[in-house]
Amino acid sequence: MQKPFQINRAYKEVQQITVAVDCLIFGFNDGNLELLLVSRSFEPERDRWSLIGGFVHNDEDLDDAAHRVLTELTGLDDVYMEQVRAFGKAKRDPYERVISVTYSALVLKKDYNDELVKSYKAEWFPIDNLPELIFDHKEMIDAAMKRLRRRVKSGPVGFNLLPEKFTLPQLQKLYEAILGEEIDKRNFRKKLNSMDFLIKLNEKDKTESKKGAYLYKFDEDKYNYVKNFNI
């Protein structure tokens, strides 16, 4: 049996691994699902596009690190993020041994100041037209999108991507943007009606046509408990 001092010494001798966090911030704009990226301001890979990421401090929890990094690199604050998964291939970062834990968030773009984001060298990109990214960040995005698509097929997801009042065409465009495919209009609306989590308002959005489209809002209590959406 090893003595305690030998075990303590082994911790330092066996592993020297850096832990990082990377944040995937999704927004919805003009029918497109978008992702917020930053222009990397330091070497290595300076001036290349990257997810919003940084290292975890020794005295910092993972969740706290993700929120700090997001605020420092984009100015965005008070964003609810969920942990997605860890990426730990031995040579994922060619410069040192780094394990990165990814987080994702769905935000309503209009709630955030575009000028503030741009001042941090951050920019929104359509999910189907991303620039070349550093390291394994494209793999991280693919993993987050697969997770989002699984969730959107089994339950109503995207509440934070739409304004409080929205039209059914806007809602359908959101689901099509996430899934990357067209959805039959009739079947989609039939499914929505069966779920009974939408409240039809006595207001219309006439920005698309003179006739206009009725506005809706979510019944949040029902929305949060819908299961088996099956789009």
Output the tens digit of pLDDT for each of the chain's 231 residues: 555 555 566 666 777 899 999 999 999 988 899 999 999 988 888 899 999 999 999 999 999 999 999 999 999 988 999 999 999 999 999 889 999 999 999 998 888 888 888 898 999 999 999 999 999 999 999 999 999 999 887 777 777 899 999 999 999 999 999 999 999 999 988 888 877 888 999 999 988 777 889 999 988 787 767 655 666
Nearest by Cα to 217 from 170, 164, 175: 164
- Positions of CATH 1.10.10.10 in the chain: 162-224
CATH 3.90.79.10 residue ranges in the chain?
14-144
Looking at the DSSP assignment, which residues form a beta bridge with residue 99?
Answer: 19
CA atoms within 13 A on the CB side of 16: 4
Which residues on neighbouring strands pair with residue 83, listed in sequence order?
A: 103
Which CATH class for the 162-224 domain? mainly alpha
d(CA 160, CA 26): 10
pTM: 0.87
SS (H, E, C) 27-72: EEECCEEEEEEEECCCCCCCCCEECEEEECCCCCCHHHHHHHHHHH
Domain 14-144 sits in which CATH superfamily? Nucleoside Triphosphate Pyrophosphohydrolase (3.90.79.10)
